[in-house]
Structure 1
Amino acid sequence: MCRWRSWWKGLPALILLIVAALHFGRAPIEAELTDQTDRLFVAIGESWARASFEGRDALLEGEALSEDARVKVRAELAQMFGVRHVEDRTTLLPERRPFTFSAIRDGTKLRLEGYVPSVYARKRIIEAADKMTPGVVVSGAKELVRARGVPAGDFIGMVAFGLEQLGKMQAGRFTLSDDAFSIEGRAPDFATYDALEVTVRSELPADFKLARFAVLPPAVSPFVWSATREPDGVALDGYIPLGDARRALLDMVRAAVPGAAISDRLRLADGSPPTDGWLKAVSFALAQLGRLPNGKVALSGTTLAIEGTAPDFAAYDALAGARRAVPEGYTLTRFAVEPPTVSPFVWGVQRGGNGIRLTGYAPSEDAKRLLLDAIRAGFPGVPLSDEMRIGAGGPAAEGWVNATVFGVGQLAKLRSGAVRGKDATLSISGEAVDSAAFATVEAALASPLPGGFTLQRDVRPPIVSPYVFSLRKDGEGLTISGFYPDAAAHQSLVEAAKALLLGGAVNDVSALAQGAPSGFSNMAMVALGELARLSAGEARFDDTKLRFTGTALYPAAIESIRANLAAALPKSFSLELALDIAARHDAGDNAMCQKAIDDLLARGSIAFSMSDNGIAAASRGLLDHVAAAAAGCPDAVVQVSVQQGEAAPGVAAARAKAVSDYLAQAGIAPDRIVAGSPPAIAQGQPDAASSEAGLQLIVR
């Protein structure tokens, strides 16, 4: 039986059952609707929006980029199956003008700054940053601010493009401002620099433009640059500083070489000296290049080089002079400009009363400098006139320097003279300072010249005045002093002195010199012969004056000597004679007298004239000393005998008589002289000019 009046007692349990069913059945529906809306927003490109559900009622939230986006999202959500009602709580993002974004890299660090249009854009940008370079740490991604105002076009693609370029540099910055971007930094190498420049100027994402490309090229060291003259123009190679230096440089080239075609192979590079100073150095170098039809100029850092061949001496002189006008801060380290070729290649170093004069050509600047150094060292304080130019076509520089400096060394020993060269021949001429210098120069010139040069010589002894010469005889021998004009005549004089002094010592301290009066050599030989007749004495020449002094061995010798000297004396000469007579000392012992005579005859021989068999002049000294020895034994008889030998009949007798007569004139009493008696006391062998006899005098 139904108890309908009690049904209400089960109503609370039913309500609880319904509430539980509604509660536990709605949660999966809300979750499913949320997932569907998330996928929808991504599919329609509006990921900024988000929706939450209470049952089938949607609450739409988010910051939209535009009102159109809000309408679009709201409409799409309302049409989605299962959604009953949409409550729109979306707002518009703040608008940013300009809409900026930047990425800054410093080694392994990358910082992102600025605005992004959406969470999706932020996510994609972070992904691109993470892929940029392995090991790069990205910061600032969470601080990227969503905003309206994003430029038209592929913003994410543009940012990814910038990050890709930034990945090629160790440090740099990519900046986007609305639809314009800039990139700056330093390329690690020229390949990267070239690739960056080409890429950012030609492969940009659509709707974006390059506002500034400030990527520095690599820094190079040394910073080199060169300009070379070619048949059809000027070729530029190396590096050029940043900025507008290229335009200024090209203007300089056109001014230095008008009308020349310019081949510009220069690369922008960092690391140059200050641009203003660099351009001044380039301007200086190009001015020199304008004088060299086939030349080259180059800069390396702050050093300058110039090379080529000068077309004429005017150009070479201008180039050489420019070496002293190098811009401040720069140094000319190489000057390899060949001068014009000359033929024949001549040069000279002349010494005169006004100093040293250089003429002709030197093979190089260095060679000339070495020559000047040698001249200044050899002639300190002497005025120098430098007219020497640099020329090509001559001997090798080293050989030229060695030979010419050798010549200058000899020139320093000359009072006046010159060193002259012609191709590979060197001539040295002049007058020596003194006799010692002349001897030194003569010895030096006897050896081969350095560098294989042929030597021509005309070095003369010094001219002296007064011209003095002395022959002094004493107990120790003969001393020759003063000057002589001729080496051959002097040698004959020395040899004659050794014979006339009968083996006595000859001390020669004379020297060769010019300035002797005419007839000097012959008169000196005559004076030597008469001096040999004295026990002691001197024949002294003072220019044309002859002073003859000493001690004669017997009285008659004085007049004989006077007469012989006067007969030989040149007309311009004068004679002063001052002779005394040696005191006679009687030996008292005939044996001692005989020994003295034998010693004299052992050291000398008597010569006879072939014309009349008289006593030769060269034998007067010997016979005077024989007479003096014989006079020491006044009681002795002197026998004179000349063995005939192969002489013609009567020659021996005539020669014996000549000796006897000479001894008689020398003061030996005629009654003491016996001629022609045996044994023979002299032997002679006649020849074409004279006959010599070994003479023996026997004293009884």
Structure 2
Amino acid sequence: MCRWRAWWKGLIPLALLAAAAVFFGRAPLEVALTERASDLLSDIGESWARARFDGRDALLEGEALSEDARAKVRAELARMSGVRVVEDRTTLLPERRPFTFTIIRDNTSLRLEGYVPSRYARTRIVEAAREAAPNLKLVGEEGLVRARGVPAGDFAGVVAFGIRQLARMPAGRVTLSDDAFSIEGRAPDFATYDALEVTVRSELPGDFKLARFAVLPPAVAPFVWSAQRDADGVLLAGYIPLGDARRALLDAVRGAVPGAAISDQLRLADGAPPSEGWLKAVSFALQQLGRLPGGKVALSDTTITIEGKAPDFAAYDALSAARRAVPEGYTLTRFAVEPPIVSPFTWGVLRNATGLRLVGYAPSEDAKRLLVDALRSGFPGVATSDEMRIASGGPSAEAWVAGATFGVNQLARLRVGEVRGSGQKLVISGEALDSAAYGAVTGALGGAIPGGFALDRPDVRPPVVKPYVFGLRRDAQGLTVSGFYPDRRDHDNMLELARGEFLGAPVNDVSAVAQGAPPGFARAANVALRELARLESGEVRLDDQKLRFSGVAMLPAAIDSIRAALTADLPPGFVVDIALEVAPPPPLMDGPSCQKALSDLLARGSIRFVEGGTAIDPISRGLLDHLAAALGGCPEATVAIAARAGASAEDQTLAAGRAQAVVDYMAQSGVSAGRLLAIANGAEAAGTPRAPGIDFIVR
């Protein structure tokens, strides 16, 4: 029989036990389901969602990127074992168009701004930033906003890629706008710039596109550029500014050197002068390169250099003219263009009555300018016609300037003339301004010629004078020679004769060389000199072909003798005007004094005879007149005129004849023949040599 009242009492403790079992067994179940749900959501790539459990009932929360993601999470969670029902409380993230993200780096920090699709993406981005830039302060990670609209692909991966590129620069910015990737900044060096450009253009994750690469190359100083031309084309080297300069530059190369192959080794760099002016300067330089096969042009900041070898004079003239048309703001600091080669290398400076004329070639513009400066200094105010061109193939510029300047210095001493050069030979010709200038030129031409030049056929002539004047004056001080003479050799010979004929008297020569002498001038001067030696004092003046002869003769008989000699011996065309007087008789002397006077005269000169004969040489008339005058001072003395002779009979005969010739001359000069005795003074012993000559012996 059922005792239901007792059974009912047992239900209460049983219910309590059941409730306790349910309460204490539910918590571990919920924890286990939550952990399994979290792993599931992570495995399917939907970590944005979170699941909470009330027993076996799931409460799904979170902000989804799309309805598909919400449906996917609900379906996957509902299929998980142990889940009874799923309550979906998820929402959709706000959609952002465009979906942007920015990374900004400066020297001390790395800033993150913009949207992320999930907490997971944010975590990856932050970890990438700390790994790539551990020494920078990370700013903005808490302000990143989750949103829908993320482009396809690994968004966090492309952000990490951008962070790694920024880490290579001291400052910069990476911007993502949907699937467009942009980077800007300044590379610290060319290696970094090159690596950045290659990496960004080739390794950017595939679902993203490069919208802008604005990384600046490093700034360089000086900013150099060059173009070199050879048989294969044009080689471009150095730097090129940012922007569209490369295209404009290549167009300029094609225009200057049509058809040339271009080797472009230029690299972008910052630090260039303003692009517009730089391109004008480059275009100017390339125009000159077009005239220079094998040439080179270069820029360094705002300076230009041009070097090469001009193929012809037209090209060289155009290049020289371009030196005066350099673009504004730029300076041509080096013009090393070698002019065309010429052979022979000739040049000249010509002077005539109207001015100067430059002809031929100079080795460089600087050398020519130095020559022109020398002309301006030596010929102030004189008009100059410049026909000289620049060429190669001659002496070095330094040697040429030295030789040409030397020539110009000599030309300044010429009334008309020329200086011409051919290779290392120098020719100077013309008429001197005056006798002093002629002496200076001939003296300079007698020395070494600067620049290694050799003098070739110099033809510098003395000046032409009119009337042609020459003078000789004899007085107590000696012989003075003045006026002009046409030939130095004849003049020197005359002076040498004068020192003998004037018995060693001092000769003061103040004459100068000149052209314009009448025919027979040298002979006339020698005749006049010979007869002047017969005077105690006197003067000779030649005025063209008119001779004036005046002075004091030592003997009355000498006057007619001098007149006859001048009339007979002067060259045809010369006329003579003679004005002579006689000197007073000498004071009387005793025998020893007379002997001394005669011996002194013979010590200063000697009586000469025609070679091999007894006739007296006319040049001895001056000495004989002085001897005759001395004999006038001892009228009572008897004088033996002894001719020294050898031991042979022939010598004795010749000596006797010469002694008699002197006696006859003395007698014609007014000395009494009775006082004179001619003897031949033979050798003391046979074979003893004796110098020929005449002795006067007072008895």
* TM-score (norm. length: structure 1): 0.89
Alignment of 1:142-161 (within 5 A): 142-161=142-161
Q: Which moved more, 1:92-101 or 1:25-34?
A: 25-34
Matched, 1:675 2:677: yes
Q: Secondary structure at the match of 2:426?
A: strand
Alignment of 1:614-629 (within 5 A): 614-629=615-630
Structure-1 residue corresponding to 2:111: 111
Matched, 1:351 2:351: yes
Following superposition, the deviation at residue 194 of structure 1 comes to 3.5
Following superposition, the deviation at residue 121 of structure 1 comes to 0.6
Structure-1 residue corresponding to 2:428: 428
Alignment of 1:287-326 (within 5 A): 287-326=287-326
Distance 2:680 2:397 in 1: 81
Q: Deviations over 1:214-233 (max 9, x none)?
A: 12233333333333334354
Alignment of 1:449-468 (within 5 A): 449-456=449-456, 457-468=458-469
Q: Secondary structure at the match of 1:570?
A: coil
User: Which of residues 664, 667, 671 in structure 1 aligns to 2:667?
Assistant: 664
Following superposition, the deviation at residue 163 of structure 1 comes to 2.1
Alignment of 1:251-650 (within 5 A): 251-456=251-456, 457-609=458-610, 613-642=614-643, 645=646, 646=648, 647=650
Following superposition, the deviation at residue 185 of structure 1 comes to 1.9
Q: Which moved more, 1:498-507 or 1:15-24?
A: 15-24
Matched-pair contact (CA < 8 Å) for 2:642–2:694 = no
Q: Which moved more, 1:18-27 or 1:139-148?
A: 18-27
Q: Which moved more, 1:339-348 or 1:262-271?
A: 262-271
Give the 3 Å change call, closer, same or farther, for CA 57–404 of structure 1 in structure 2. Answer: same
Structure-2 residue corresponding to 1:46: 46
Matched-pair contact (CA < 8 Å) for 1:471–1:539 = yes
Matched-pair contact (CA < 8 Å) for 2:652–2:682 = no
Gaps of 5+ in 2: 684-690
Q: State, as a whole percentage, how many aligned pairs show the same letter.
A: 66
Distance 2:15 2:412 in 1: 141
Alignment-mate amino acid for residue 668 of structure 1: V
Q: Deviations over 1:521-555 (max 9, x none)?
A: 11111111111111122212233332222221122
Distance 1:17 1:34 in 2: 27
Distance 2:603 2:47 in 1: 147
Alignment-mate amino acid for residue 563 of structure 1: A
Q: Secondary structure at the match of 1:158?
A: helix
Following superposition, the deviation at residue 98 of structure 1 comes to 1.0
Matched-pair contact (CA < 8 Å) for 1:309–1:337 = yes
Q: Secondary structure at the match of 1:667?
A: coil
Following superposition, the deviation at residue 514 of structure 1 comes to 2.1
Give the 3 Å change call, closer, same or farther, for CA 69–644 of structure 1 in structure 2. Answer: closer
How many aligned positions are there? Answer: 685
Distance 1:239 1:679 in 2: 109
Q: Secondary structure at the match of 1:255?
A: helix
Q: Secondary structure at the match of 1:271?
A: coil
Q: Deviations over 1:362-405 (max 9, x none)?
A: 23334333433443444344333221112223334443333333
Gaps of 5+ in 1: 682-690
Matched-pair contact (CA < 8 Å) for 2:240–2:267 = yes
Alignment-mate amino acid for residue 461 of structure 2: R
Matched-pair contact (CA < 8 Å) for 1:184–1:213 = yes
Distance 2:385 2:580 in 1: 57
Q: Deviations over 1:445-464 (max 9, x none)?
A: 33344454432122223333
Q: Deviations over 1:587-609 (max 9, x none)?
A: 24333222211211121111234
Alignment-mate amino acid for residue 664 of structure 1: A
Distance 1:165 1:598 in 2: 123
Distance 1:29 1:593 in 2: 176
Alignment-mate amino acid for residue 595 of structure 1: K
Structure-1 residue corresponding to 2:686: none
Give the 3 Å change call, closer, same or farther, for CA 231–611 of structure 1 in structure 2. Answer: closer
Alignment-mate amino acid for residue 662 of structure 2: V
Q: Secondary structure at the match of 1:607?
A: coil
Give the 3 Å change call, closer, same or farther, for CA 123–678 of structure 1 in structure 2. Answer: closer
Q: Deviations over 1:603-641 (max 9, x none)?
A: 111123459734321111112111222212334344444
Distance 1:19 1:552 in 2: 184
Q: Secondary structure at the match of 2:97?
A: coil
Alignment-mate amino acid for residue 500 of structure 1: E
Distance 2:98 2:124 in 1: 22
Give the 3 Å change call, closer, same or farther, for CA 128–644 of structure 1 in structure 2. Answer: closer
Distance 2:676 2:175 in 1: 145
Distance 2:570 2:304 in 1: 77
Matched-pair contact (CA < 8 Å) for 1:428–1:458 = yes
Q: Which moved more, 1:642-651 or 1:660-669?
A: 642-651
Matched-pair contact (CA < 8 Å) for 1:554–1:582 = yes
Following superposition, the deviation at residue 59 of structure 1 comes to 4.7
Following superposition, the deviation at residue 191 of structure 1 comes to 4.0
Structure-2 residue corresponding to 1:684: none
Q: Secondary structure at the match of 1:96?
A: coil
Distance 1:447 1:696 in 2: 51
Distance 1:677 1:418 in 2: 65
Distance 2:530 2:15 in 1: 179
Matched-pair contact (CA < 8 Å) for 2:523–2:571 = no
Alignment-mate amino acid for residue 662 of structure 1: Y
Give the 3 Å change call, closer, same or farther, for CA 482–204 of structure 1 in structure 2. Answer: same
Give the 3 Å change call, closer, same or farther, for CA 20–562 of structure 1 in structure 2. Answer: farther
Distance 2:378 2:26 in 1: 121
Distance 2:248 2:36 in 1: 67
Alignment-mate amino acid for residue 607 of structure 1: R
Alignment of 1:92-107 (within 5 A): 92-107=92-107
Following superposition, the deviation at residue 77 of structure 1 comes to 4.3
Q: Deviations over 1:536-588 (max 9, x none)?
A: 22212233332222221122222322222222333433323332322224224
Distance 1:526 1:30 in 2: 159
Alignment of 1:188-267 (within 5 A): 188-267=188-267
Alignment-mate amino acid for residue 540 of structure 1: R
Matched-pair contact (CA < 8 Å) for 2:256–2:286 = yes
Distance 1:561 1:623 in 2: 13
Following superposition, the deviation at residue 496 of structure 1 comes to 0.8
Structure-1 residue corresponding to 2:658: 655
Matched-pair contact (CA < 8 Å) for 1:586–1:634 = no
Alignment-mate amino acid for residue 64 of structure 1: A
Q: Secondary structure at the match of 1:606?
A: coil
Matched-pair contact (CA < 8 Å) for 1:224–1:300 = yes
Matched-pair contact (CA < 8 Å) for 2:374–2:405 = yes
Alignment-mate amino acid for residue 549 of structure 1: S
Following superposition, the deviation at residue 129 of structure 1 comes to 1.4
Alignment-mate amino acid for residue 545 of structure 1: K
Structure-2 residue corresponding to 1:128: 128
* TM-score (norm. length: structure 2): 0.89
Matched, 1:695 2:687: no
Q: Deviations over 1:242-265 (max 9, x none)?
A: 211222222222222233343333
Distance 1:269 1:189 in 2: 10
Matched-pair contact (CA < 8 Å) for 1:608–1:692 = no
Distance 1:585 1:343 in 2: 77
Give the 3 Å change call, closer, same or farther, for CA 643–187 of structure 1 in structure 2. Answer: closer
Matched-pair contact (CA < 8 Å) for 2:182–2:212 = yes
Q: Deviations over 1:63-89 (max 9, x none)?
A: 322333334444544555555665544
RMSD: 3.3
